[in-house]
Amino acid sequence: MTQTKHIEMRGVRKTYPFFTLDDLSLDLEPGQIMGFVGANGAGKSTTIRLAMGLIAPDAGDIRVLGHAIPEAQGAAKRDIGFVSSEMRLLPHTTIGWHMQFISSIYPEWDAPYAEALVKRFNLRPAQGSGGLSQGEQIKALLMLTLARRPRLLILDEPTNGLDPVARHEVMTEFMDVLRDDNRSILFSSHNTVDVERISDRITFIDRGRVVDCNDKEDFLERWRRIHLQLPPGVTLPHLPGIVSRVVDGQFSTLTTNSYSDGLLALLGNTVRDVQRMSLEEIFVANVFHHREARGQ
């Protein structure tokens, strides 16, 4: 793959009085959806603001769609669509006014697609921005952004405040964007169910550090909870790839991030059950494991 990466961050650092984002590296390839998962205050929004050139890093390199950020952000932004759940339409205007305004700035504006999205999201162009619910605000912003057909979508908590039906509508639209293998999406969320469903790659971030980054299928394949019953007096040998171990009498529960048939063979007939883990469970186990390793 010699294609230009859509996002490339290397060794990025940004220091605030009470928070430091450190040694952040992140790669987004064309045609991919990356889910960016972290607790509140983990550094998701800071990372996104750095990628958008809204703030400058103290150290490290950032390239977006091949352009150096923040220096060449003007050129990059023509092809980026950015929506955050904190954004609002301009007050005292209508949705239709915004459509007019944005189509006059961006020559790529796709009017038929905009009309289709208005219908699918059940928006009314004549409606004033003041009367919109949180969900309608986000859907209107997404419509205005998607209709520009940007190559890169950067979405900060895009499903925040959406009811289940609206979330479904919006996620369907995200996947539709990816029919074109030259487009990509970076989206942050603490809703791991959404992330698990549509992401190709997943990055976990905690306390300003990237904890883990991998293909989604790899995460789901490698993490397992294994329940064991050990006869009295028998102790487990040291096993590689065990991130946590809880012992309760004869019963032990192991959590592993490198499950294999080999590991199962080593444990032999002490194994009572092997369980797959949801992305949420993997995220939580991963975060605790790394906090422990860093002595936090």
Partner 1 sequence: MGLVFDSELSIHCMHSMYSGINISQTDARPMYLQIMEQIRARIAVGDWAAGKELPSIRALAAALSVSVITIKRAYLDLENEGVIFTRHGKGSFVADVNGLAGELQAEKIDEHLAAAAGIGRQLGLSEEELATRLRRAIRNLDKK
Positions that interact with partner 1 (CB under 8 A): 31-33, 168, 171-172, 174-176, 178-179, 181, 193, 197-201, 215-217, 220, 261-262, 265-266, 268, 276
Q: Which two tokens stand for residue 103?
A: 């189509």
Write down the least CB distance from residue 37 to partner 1, Å: 14
CB 89 within 8 A of CB 98: yes
Beta bridge partners of 28: 7
Q: How far apart are CA 102 and CA 264, in angstroms?
A: 57
Q: How far apart are CA 276 and CA 282, in angstroms?
A: 10
Write down the least CB distance from residue 174 to partner 1, Å: 8
Task: Using the CB atoms, write b or e for 97-110: b if 16+ within 10 Å.
Answer: bbbeebbeebeebe
Write down the least CB distance from residue 124 to partner 1, Å: 23
Beta bridge partners of 9: 26, 62
Nearer to partner 1, 77 or 139 (CB): 139
Nearer to partner 1, 219 or 290 (CB): 219
Write down the least CB distance from residue 85 to partner 1, Å: 20
Write down the least CB distance from residue 177 to partner 1, Å: 9
Which of 13, 84, 36 lies closest to 283, judged by CA? 36
Which of 163, 219, 172 lies closest to 191, judged by CA? 163
Nearer to partner 1, 105 or 265 (CB): 265
CB 57 within 8 A of CB 12: yes
Write down the least CB distance from residue 72 to partner 1, Å: 29
Write down the least CB distance from residue 43 to partner 1, Å: 24
Q: How far apart are CA 141 and CA 96, in angstroms?
A: 12
Nearer to partner 1, 90 or 264 (CB): 264
Nearer to partner 1, 163 or 215 (CB): 215
Nearer to partner 1, 102 or 242 (CB): 242
Extended beta strands in 39-183, E state: 59-64, 67-68, 80-84, 152-156
Nearer to partner 1, 131 or 268 (CB): 268
